[in-house]
Chain A
Amino acid sequence: MRSSTIKLTPAFVSYLQVGPLLLVLLGFFGIPLLMIVGVSFFEYDGVNSVPAFQFGNYADLFTSPITLTLYIKTLEYALIVWAITLVVGFTVSYFLAFHVRSLLWQMALFLVCTVPFWTSNIIRMISWIPFLGRNGLFNQALIGVGLTKEPLEFLLFSDFAVIIAYVHLFTLFMIVPIFNAMARIDRSIVEAALDGGSSRWRIMWEIIIPLSKTGIALGSIFVITLVMGDFFVVNTMSGGHSASVALAMYNQIAAVQYPFAAASAVVLLLIVTLLVAAILRLVDVRRELAG
């Protein structure tokens, strides 16, 4: 206090400190979001976007048979990838949290799982191409072992490839929050259950899963929103054989049909928000997030 010339109230200091964050988030997230909502009511005259307030873009969207197909496909991807990443992420986290005894090893192995997060998604995605291709490693191995004579065609540029790439890219979004939740579980509860004669399965279902719930919910939110918003994995790994809501939107943006893209974005956002709200209703993650 002594050396400060102006006396600042604590609340004012807080606003000064949080101000830059708020400015960036409003300027590059809040206002752009409102822009999308605004443009979704504009008219597209075949060349330009004309400011207007009409529901034509939404009417087109809801009456187009492609919309439903795209949403079903996208939700199908989201559901399959969610299920796989949940099982894999939970198993890996459980192994790290409960079976690796040395803290140093735990930290090292956890890092091994998180390092890919800090590397390029595009590179990690295309690294599947030499694996899954017609002459790829996987087919060569299958033919070498004698399981098939002809290379399998469905491996690359298919739903299979899309899902493999998603699981590869997004499983760590499950591992980090679930491991975090598991690391906080008081080991003495597990000890007590063991002393009481509980089986492994009962401990799993009645202690570990309920106490990891917040981590599971956070991981699920990440994976579902990432898959729902993806366009480049579907674009590359399906080889043009499949599409998603975001990819269709990307194509509209590329064709400068902004009002259609914006209407489509608003609907996608509403659906993602509903999914996230449903997860938050099931599990209260607020305390977890706020630290």
Chain B
Amino acid sequence: MQRDLGKRPWTFYVLAGFFVLFVLFLYGPMSAIFVLSFQGPTGGLTFPMNGVSLRWFTALFNQQRTGDFAGGFTRSIVLALMVLALTVAISVMAGLAFRRRFLGATAVFYLAVASLIMPGLLVGLGVGLLYQTVGVTPTWFGSALGAQLTWTLPFGLLIMFAVLSRFNRAYEEAGRDLGASHWQIFWMVVVPILFPGMIAVALFGFTLSYDEFPRTLLTVGAENTLPLEIWGMTTNVTSPALYALGTVTTLVSFTVITLALGSIAIIQSRRSRRPISAKTSPTDPSEIA
């Protein structure tokens, strides 16, 4: 426990050991993929390494060998940016709406929670059936976009709830007292205060879409996103090119995560230097998720 700050109890060392093992379990296999993607030209899917090469990375751009990697990658990035923008805008608006009581609020909330825990394949099946019935051709920027939003929006909403529960409404009232319009209050008071939370929502929107698979599978239409290309590769491709693709896509995710978390950290540390907004700067680690 937290008393006696000098000496740690024996349980600390046992639990710390457990934690280290868990982190190894979490990251160990991924690092093996990373190393194996630099496998030599004659190397296979497992260790040992037969030399070192970049051959499998260049193989990714050879369309015949590994499928349409470049196209899938482009579509995934564009789709993820669309999901990001829509998730941030819709979640922030909905989060603000839930600060007041309105008829049906509970129903909307439960609809969002149900949408969150609905198995992804079933979302895809339902959207696919709907498009078929209406007679519209599914596309990655239409049906797949909508199917992905049923998964990113509930996350965005829950994050906005956590952020807004710490939001001090006195700032809005101060703005109103000074004669600001609704729009001025929104853009000059609410948005700047909520900005770190909005980055967190954006992070969820982008990465969950970029890696989304079960909802996209049945709704994507004729052109695949990157996770679907990877899914195809797991059955067809038995060369380390699969790992090279894994390394590339993981690096993209890591870049986005670093950018998002880094900018949140910079904003928070700037704020904590200015006492005026100290109250709104969350220090609770649970905030991030």
Contacts and interface: CB of A to CB of B under 8 A. Distances in A.
**Is this pair of chains taken from one and the same complex?**
yes
Interface of A: 1-4, 10-11, 13-18, 20-22, 24-33, 35-36, 39, 88, 91-92, 94-96, 98-99, 101, 103, 106-107, 109-116, 118-124, 126-131, 133, 135-137, 140, 168, 171, 176, 179-180, 183-184, 187, 190-191, 194, 200, 203, 221-222, 225, 228-232, 236, 246, 249-250, 253, 258, 261-262, 265, 268-269, 272, 276, 289-291
A14 B33 contact: no
B236 to A, nearest CB: 13
A285 to B, nearest CB: 10
19 contacts: A2-B179, A11-B100, A14-B105, A18-B105, A24-B90, A28-B147, A29-B118, A31-B126, A32-B126, A32-B130, A94-B15, A98-B2, A106-B285, A110-B288, A119-B254, A130-B36, A131-B28, A187-B2, A231-B121
A16 B96 CA distance: 11
Given A103-B285, A119-B211, A200-B11, A130 B32 contact: yes
B125 A29 contact: no
B76 to A, nearest CB: 10
Contacts, number: 286
B122 A268 contact: yes
A92 B97 contact: no
A129 B285 CA distance: 34
Contacts of A114: 288-289
A25 B118 CA distance: 12
Interface residues of B, number: 104
A32 B127 contact: yes
Given A15-B102, A36-B126, A222-B117, A118 B46 contact: no
Interface in B224-263: 227, 230-231, 234, 242-243, 246, 249-250, 253-254, 256-257, 261
B187 to A, nearest CB: 13
Given A39-B129, A137-B32, A112 B23 contact: yes
Contact of A137 (B47, B89, B125, B211): B47
Most central of B8, B117, B161, B210 by chain A CB within 10 Å: B117
Interface stretch (B51-59, B66-74, B108-116): B108-116
B250 A119 contact: yes
Nearest to A114: B289
A29 B90 CA distance: 16
B36 to A, nearest CB: 6
Contacts of A18: 93-94, 97-98, 102, 105, 108
A229 B116 CA distance: 12
Contacts of B111: 22, 25-26, 29-30
A123 B250 contact: yes
Question: Majority SS of interface residues in chain B?
Answer: helix
Given A20-B90, A121-B211, A249-B121, A127 B29 contact: yes
B79 interface: no
Interface of B: 1-3, 5, 8, 11-12, 15-16, 18-19, 22-23, 25-30, 32-33, 36, 45-47, 86, 89-91, 93-94, 96-98, 100, 102-103, 105, 108-109, 111-115, 117-123, 125-127, 129-130, 133, 146-147, 149-150, 153, 157-158, 161-162, 164-165, 176, 179, 181-184, 203-204, 207-208, 210-211, 213-214, 218, 227, 230-231, 234, 242-243, 246, 249-250, 253-254, 256-257, 261, 283-286, 288-289
B246 A14 contact: no
A290 B111 CA distance: 13
Contacts of A99: 8, 11-12, 15-16
B227 A29 contact: no
A199 to B, nearest CB: 11
A39 B162 CA distance: 39
Nearest to B289: A176
B201 to A, nearest CB: 13
